[in-house]
Amino acid sequence: MLRPYAGHLTDRIGRRPLLLAGTALAATSLALTALATDLTTIIALRLLLGVAEAAFFVAGFAALVDIAPPDRLGEALSLNSLGLYLGLAAGPPLGEVLTQRSFPTAWLTAAALCAAATAAAAFIGETGTPSRTRNAKLIHRPAIPPSIGLCAALAASGGFLAFAALRAQEEGFENTSLPLFLYGATVVVSRAVFAKVPDRMPPLKLGAIALAVIATGLILTATPHTLIAGSIVLGAGVTFSTPAFFAAIFATAEPHQRGAASGTASAFIDIGLGGGPILLGVIANAGIPAALATGGALAAAGCLWTLILSRAR
């Protein structure tokens, strides 16, 4: 809910204040979590962490687009997303090790990491030109159509993240985290190796291809004995989907609208990652393969939508 407001503020007062405030607020929330003793306080601190994340994420993407050369925007978006994936990959095992000592140790370490991010953000100058226009929109409407394609990709891949381990268990895997590892490794390696590809193709065309590959990967994960192949194919599709759609989204925005475009697009990220597993969870009552196949159908629908959008443009 707060991402569009964060985007509005990013355009009004600049990127740097939200980068600093977001990381500092996250550090404060996590440090106080180490001291919390009741559920109500913990929920309040988690909500505060959500405010911090909205501010930092939206301002970070807007700042990235400010500093990236236009002909290398896709490469910048690919490399930037590695930070997100590496953080998500390293955070849980680090937390698991730290909680063996104590939960407060884990929370305080997380707070220290956010404090380090605050220090790093302090060395980043203001990349945007704050707009003094008071009638700026909270929602950047031209960003909505490509954001729908991005939402479809994330809803489909989010369903895989929710059910991959259970699917591996059904298939008799001893190591049920193997499909998730191969998926994540494929995304990280491919985004580093093929970072320049998004700059060599029209973004919506690349987004449509990525969605088609995602659909293929999910159908393979739903098919007996092809879970490993499907995980790798899915990772290949996800490699290009986010850079492609973000490039298409920011192509609709003037420099003083990049915060609003980032806020609008990232709200669709939350809808996709949150809504996809819920939707496919309902289908999973009929079986996990049915849920994964439905995710493939969702990605295929997103592919069709993106192709229509590409032709219209």
Phi-psi label, residue 14: left if phi above 0, alpha if psi -120 to 50, beta otherwise: left
- Annotate 116-182 with DSSP letters as a single string: HHHHHHHTSPP-S-----TT--SS-GGGHHHHHHHHHHHHHHHHHHHHHHHHHHHTT-SSTTHHHHH
Confidence of residue 133 (pLDDT cuts 50, 70, 90): low
Query: Whole-number mean pLDDT of the chain?
Result: 91
Global pTM? 0.83
pLDDT value of position 95:
87
Fold of 141-312: Growth Hormone; Chain: A; (1.20.1250)
CA distance 49 to 57: 12
Give tens-digit pLDDT for 155-178: 999 999 999 989 999 999 888 888
The total of other beta-carbon atoms located within 10 Å of residue 196's CB is: 11
Tokens of 51: 């405010």
- Does residue 129 register a pLDDT over 80? no
Tokens of 256: 């003083």
Helix (H, G, I), strand (E, B) or coil at 251: coil
What is the rounded average pLDDT of the residues 251-277?
89
